[in-house]
Structure 1
Amino acid sequence: MQNTERVKSERPESAFEGEVVWSPLKSVWFISNLFVALFIAPFVFSFSAFVVFIFLTAVTLCLGHSLGMHRLLIHRSYECPKWMEYLFVYLGVLVGMAGPIGMLLQHDLRDWAQRQKKCHDFLLHGSNIVKDGWWQLNCDLKLKYPPEFTIEDEVSNNSFYLFIERYWLLQQIVIAIPLYLLGGIP
């Protein structure tokens, strides 16, 4: 059985035996964002707000999620000053998917499970697009025999990462308030 650095299990069934369960907080978070995007945003649209949206989306997805969370925190593909690491990872938290430790765990679990002989459809994205989408945005996978995670101390004992992990949802307010004060509802 293959193991990654952070994920280990001696049970072959640990990658597929489990159940998908509804996650109320996750579901409310993503459904409320979808509701706002579909039923409120079109009525308060402005070109300047759209430009701010494009800019912030590019910054948070490219610098935050891709460079910060994925390439730097998860894969350690490059080195940079600590202040830049914190900035990029923080921008990744603003994407609104999870905190840094939650992203690391979910990414490594998925990669590990997909390398096993058998993998749960939740981690494989092996169902139809509607079911997979519902699961990813509204549910969690509770494995019967979850693998063991070992996160390096520089992340698991880092006060900055622990703080934004605990309060990652509230970090959206940090950017929402100044945007509202500068541009109003749009």
Structure 2
Amino acid sequence: MAQQIPVAFILWLLGGLEWVIWGVAVRVSVSLIGHWAVGHYAHRQGHQGWIVEGLPVQGYNLPWLGLLTFGENWHGNHHAFPHSARLGVEAGQFDPGYLFIRGLEKLGLVHDIQLPQSKPMRAGLTRIS
């Protein structure tokens, strides 16, 4: 949590307490709720494009959580391709997290971005419709 202190200090200087509340407290709360929602719902229900035989828990895709989770809502795809930076692997799956990573690549801040085809398919992975 200490990493929020410099952010809070800068926001305090720029706009006072209101900026700190919105820029730290609200932002962190929304992120944590999104993370919890994916962890809770994405292992129970939703669209399933892939099954990984032998996994005790399967992942499901939750399109309605897309913007809140920055693309982690494609959790079934994450189970299928855990190495991939791109989680929106099917047509129409918006993945803002991957777009952000690509932006960082263009700035020279990241490299060697892994995609689903970067590694062999994992054992037991089966595509379902």
TM-score, length basis structure 1? 0.29
> Larger helix proportion, structure 1 or 2?
1
Q: TM-score, normalised by structure 2?
A: 0.38
**RCO higher in structure (CA 8 A, sep ≥6):** 1
